[in-house]
Structure 1
Amino acid sequence: MLSAFTPRPLKRLFTANQCWTSFLDAGGLRDIEVEAVTKMLACGTRILGVKEYICDKPECPHVRYVTNSCGSRACPSCGKKATDLWIATQLNRLPDCDWVHLVFTLPDTQWPVFESNRWLLNDVCRLAVENLLYAARKRGQEPGIFCAIHTYGRRLNWHPHVHVSVTCGGLNKHGQWKKLSFLKDAMRSRWMWNMRQRLLKAWSEGLAMPESLSHITTESQRRSLVLKAGGKYWHVYMSKKTAGGRNTARYLGRYLKKPPIAASRLAHYNGGGA
């Protein structure tokens, strides 16, 4: 017999008061979002199948049933396992040197543009990496870089930004390892310039205009949004150096592989908010 099923915290939140059903009925969800939640809700249930384990001794009556997991990153249980496995793998790959971690942000006035034109997010990652490569190659060095884009903030609101980890050194043309550092102000200036130029070009490629920016209809208004609005909110955050590949792998695992909602963060549900 299968033991009684106890819902996990995130499942309880999605199923309490028909929350997930209400979201579906309201519409507006992307297929990938519906798929991720559907997998998470089915994880550990008979819906995904059950494995039967029996003793190889004919006289032994013991039988054990194990339900299959979903393997979705949105699932706190499966996502945690995937994170731990990923970190263990990277420990054998990452250079055992100092690393520095950076975050490239965009002004909130432009967040809606990227939400309605998600294909632009690829350029956000690319330009963040090119920023670092430009600085390193000016000195004749090739660094190691990890990059991941996050489209949500700590409050799970839409907030596109880029996490980048880069080695504090690189290989020169002779294959020799040389120390490398980056100037925060110079990176911020290049980041702001390159992203603004990309956005201006994107307007001519046919951007979908979000409803919140529907009042912007002329070329001068578009240029003002890109070139003037939110000038002081283009940030490049740079952490202190992290020593060694082990600490770096753990740091990267939290940002590259972790589930978007950890069960430990679900403290209370009052029927309307968590």
Structure 2
Amino acid sequence: MSRPPLEVADIFRQYGPAFLSAQGDSLSAAQRRVMQAIELCRTAALGGHVEECDSCRHLRIFYNSCRNRHCPKCQSLAKAQWLEERQAELLPVQYFHVVFTIPACLAPVALENKRIVYNILFRAASQTLLRIAADPRHLGASVGFLAVLHTWGQNLLHHPHLHCVVPGDGLSPDGLRWISCRKDFFLSVRVLSRLFRRLFLDHLQQAFANGKLEFHQTLQHLSDPAAFTALVRSVRQTEWVVYAKPPFGGPAQVLDYLGHYTHRVAISNDRLLSIDNNKVTFRWRDYRHGNNQATMSLAADEFIRRFLLHV
């Protein structure tokens, strides 16, 4: 595989030292490790290995990969292996793509409490799908699903959301019958959204009551129970975005689609257009304005900051 002309590693090598000097104190150990791993990936610093052709005995020397899950160069093999393992789990039924998002005003809370809030996101989405699917008024069956967390939008800003691939069929409560959904329709998005909102906020309030949430800098006021309660009350009154995309054509299309969503990082190397004069320019898709493809230029330190939001 040929090397892309530009890489995130190039940005880290060129502008990383200045970024660390200016903002290093605010970085976590994990973020520092990611920067170092990406910078050193497939360089002499990580050593190398030799591969020999079985036919002609020709030798080729390769530098070792960092294998960090945030590295744009290290996801292809992991993705292929993961998809191969999922192949045996797919059923010959309709599959649907359901996406759960949280309001933008809760994203800063998630950013400061990643482990807690992301776990709540998984738990609330799981409970929502299982509970609504089990309801006889909807499907009346026990279903399974795959869920993949993404924390970024195309512009690299923090936008946590959960991609779920769900079979439209399931087992009856007694486990003796196979129940299928209506053609091209799985579950009511409105019903999913309302239950997800309630469950997510209930779990979030419980985490706050148990002292598991932390608030710093501009969010310090949320440490006050009255302020936190006011925030929760306000988002209970808003409509949350949960949407279901049209069903896939079949299991093969499911795997192909999953390949676009699993083992992804915030930005791939092939979206980078230029690195020049302390600016990084890249392609992005503006979903809010007709799904148009556009370009964006960021100062190098802002690009690095946004990339590290997702570590």
TM-score normalised by the shorter chain: which range applies?
Answer: 0.7 to 0.9
* 1:236 counterpart residue number: 242
Q: Distance in 2 between matches of 1:61 and 1:103?
A: 50
Query: How much has 1:266 moved relative to structure 2?
Result: 0.4
Q: Under a length normalisation based on structure 1, what TM-score does the superposition of the two structures give?
A: 0.86
Contact 2:107 2:158 (C-alpha < 8 Å) held by counterparts: yes
What SS does the aligned partner of 1:163 have?
strand
* 1:198 counterpart residue number: 203
Q: Under a length normalisation based on structure 2, what TM-score does the superposition of the two structures give?
A: 0.77
* 1:125 counterpart residue number: 122
C-alpha offsets along residues 227-255 of structure 1, whole Å, 9 cap, x if unaligned?
11484352101111112222112222322
Q: Distance in 2 between matches of 1:100 and 1:177?
A: 17
Q: Is 1:35 aligned with 2:40?
A: no
Q: Distance in 2 between matches of 1:54 and 1:108?
A: 52
Q: How many residues are aligned here?
A: 265
Of residues 252-261 and 61-70 in structure 1, the stretch that sits farther from structure 2 once superposed is 61-70
* 1:11 counterpart residue number: 9
Contact 1:187 1:236 (C-alpha < 8 Å) held by counterparts: yes
Contact 2:100 2:242 (C-alpha < 8 Å) held by counterparts: yes
* 1:149 counterpart residue number: 149
* 2:170 counterpart residue number: 170
User: Any residues of structure 2 matched to 1:40-119 within 5 Å, and which?
Assistant: 40-52=38-50, 63-118=59-114, 119=116
Change (3 A) 1:176 1:211: same
Contact 1:54 1:62 (C-alpha < 8 Å) held by counterparts: yes
What SS does the aligned partner of 2:77 have?
helix
Of residues 84-93 and 115-124 in structure 1, the stretch that sits farther from structure 2 once superposed is 84-93
What SS does the aligned partner of 2:73 have?
helix
Query: How much has 1:217 moved relative to structure 2?
Result: 5.4
Which residue identity does 1:234 align to in structure 2?
W
Change (3 A) 1:63 1:211: same
Query: How much has 1:257 moved relative to structure 2?
Result: 1.2
Query: How much has 1:63 moved relative to structure 2?
Result: 4.9
Contact 2:147 2:165 (C-alpha < 8 Å) held by counterparts: yes
What SS does the aligned partner of 1:76 have?
coil
What SS does the aligned partner of 2:146 have?
strand
Structure 1: segments with no counterpart, 5+ residues: none
Q: Distance in 2 between matches of 1:36 and 1:20?
A: 12
Answer 1 or 2: which has greater strand percent: 2
Change (3 A) 1:266 1:9: same
Q: Distance in 1 between matches of 2:145 and 2:176?
A: 17
What SS does the aligned partner of 2:274 have?
coil
What SS does the aligned partner of 1:101 have?
strand
What SS does the aligned partner of 2:148 have?
strand
What SS does the aligned partner of 2:78 have?
helix
* 1:266 counterpart residue number: 272
Which residue identity does 1:273 align to in structure 2?
K
What is the RMSD of the two structures over their aligned residues, measured on CA atoms? Answer: 2.6
Which residue identity does 2:123 align to in structure 1?
R
What SS does the aligned partner of 1:214 have?
helix
Of residues 215-224 and 168-177 in structure 1, the stretch that sits farther from structure 2 once superposed is 215-224
Of residues 195-204 and 120-129 in structure 1, the stretch that sits farther from structure 2 once superposed is 195-204
Change (3 A) 1:182 1:72: same
Contact 2:6 2:273 (C-alpha < 8 Å) held by counterparts: no
Q: Distance in 2 between matches of 1:219 and 1:52?
A: 60
Q: Distance in 1 between matches of 2:19 and 2:231?
A: 32
State the identity as a percent: 27
Q: Distance in 1 between matches of 2:50 and 2:194?
A: 60
